[in-house]
Amino acid sequence: MTRYIFVTGGVVSSLGKGIISSSIGKLLQSRGYSITIQKFDPYINIDPGTLNPYEHGECYVTVDGMETDLDLGHYERFTGIRTTRQNSITTGRIYQTVIDRERRGDYLGKTIQVVPHITDEIKARMTAPEGTVDFVITEVGGTIGDIESAPFMEAMRQLKWELSGRAISVHLTYVPYLRAAGELKTKPTQHSVKELQGMGIQPDILILRTEQHLSDGVRQKVASFCNVDLECVVQSEDMPSIYEVPVSMQRQGLDSAILRKLGIPVGETPELGPWRRFLELQRTSTREVHIGLVGKYDLQDAYKSIRESLYLAGVYNEVRVKLHFINSENITKQNIAKEVEGMAGILICPGFGSRGIEGKIIAAQYCREHDVPAFGICLGMQMMVIEFARNVLGYCDANSAEMDDKTPHNVIDIMESQKNIEKMGGTMRLGAYACELRDDSRVRDIYGCKTIEERHRHRYEFNNNYIDEYEKAGMQCVGRNPESSLVEIVEVPGCRWYVGTQFHPEYQSTVLHPHPLFMDFVRTCKG
């Protein structure tokens, strides 16, 4: 029988519900249970695909091509599961489904209301994995009290009642420390729990986010005021790394408390061997490797998966990767040497639109000509291609049709089959696609296999009409899609490490299985 764990947040946003959900999933997996994790977001957008990264951080892509919240990246990195469109639901998708059914006449003329029609659809999505896994962990975005999340809370309330002992509520709140008074304050947590109780939901487990260690007295106070067992009041202190959180939660008995609440025998506590070995490597790595991220979004979450992939690869290479954001809008030919000074390697970031692309092209040229290890991802790879056309092939006006649809040398272009499709989604290549690697290439050695599968999120492609010119001049098209022959990877063998990928390898890098491209790139930077 599938059990359900609902994770909500109170007091303030950005407390780390995604990290807690991922940690719960990891701990249950270590006990031999199968899990999946869902994210329900209250915003009305169908998905975050059109949202500015400053609004929502990076857009994560699942294997089946769904553009989702960045928390799904945490789910996959921590647990190794492969998420799909069923793992990411928004208010927009819920309402769109219900309205489409109403237009078809599926409701037989009934008045459509939030309760029961919207809540029934939410419940159906929440319980869709029934019977396929042992545990479904459902994270509800936003903060308790938000108007937008009210239908999700009502659906949760109904499910906790209907599932009778198969569902529990985990509530994450904030315990602030008032420095002037020298006190930790539990009142915000009490109010948050009362708000939740006012919706008919009694939390079974409280996780208290804190920047100061909580005494047993503070935990006992929270337990008494919130009707929660003391063993079910767990603190989540600031950690040196988010990857310490599962071990901290296990040490405090979070997974044991969950099992007891669901009437499941607890058994012995698993050792988390590989995870602890990773943490030990993380603690003992002292040498620093500095890598520059050339992009246009000066926001940590905008390139979250890339940052984490580089960090994980650094741990396994026994170095501490120090990332430095380099704003591509500020890069010129006059200052590029100063901008990349001290960097052991450069990663040219993905993105959309023309803002900042000339800086990326200048960075690609500098790395190629000065043999600085360089890794271009998606748009970053396309900037490598454009730079090579301008400065090696001699096409000074070379560009992408996305940036200049009048250029006579459109080395990056939309394919003919895409040109009559409405834009903003219809022409996007999304999700996992196969790629065949050339036998004599560096990437073939890195992957250790002939055929790979990687996830895409882009609209424009390498123009195959130019392949012969590129390869004669020294840039090799070493990865191709077996069905369409589209170029997926380019490399310059004459450089120490100069590789561009049309796909996003960062989406498949996990704590226990770092991506081979990031591993080799960091290894080269380390050397």
Q: Which residues of 182-202 are buried (b: 16+ CB within 10 A; e: fewer)?
A: eebebeebeebbebbeeeebe
Distinct helix (H) and strand (E) counts, the chain:
18, 23
CB atoms within 10 A of CB 445: 12
Residue owning tokens 């599938």: 2
Distance CA 29, CA 270 (A): 10
Q: What angle do CA 435, 436, 438 make, to 5 degrees?
A: 135
The CA distances from residue 234 to 208, 214, 523, in Å, are 6, 9, 39
Distance CA 314, CA 320 (A): 6
CB atoms within 10 A of CB 407: 17
Closest among 174, 156, 154 to 9, alpha carbons compared: 174
> Which residues contact residue 525 at a Cβ distance below 8 angstroms, ignoring those fewer than 6 apart?
289, 291, 344, 345, 373, 497
Distance CA 213, CA 204 (A): 22
Closest among 462, 467, 514 to 305, alpha carbons compared: 514
Distance CA 66, CA 93 (A): 12
| Cα distance from N-terminal residue to C-terminal residue, the chain | 51
Which bin fits 395, alpha (ψ -120 to 50), beta or left (φ > 0)? beta
One-letter amino acid of 394: G
CB atoms within 10 A of CB 211: 11
User: DSSP character for 426?
Assistant: T
Alpha carbon 295 to chain centroid, angstroms: 18
Closest among 161, 133, 160 to 75, alpha carbons compared: 133
Q: Is residue 474 classed exposed, middle or buried when 0-12, 13-18 and 19+ CB atoms within 10 A define those classes?
A: middle
Q: Which residues are catalytic?
A: 378, 504, 506
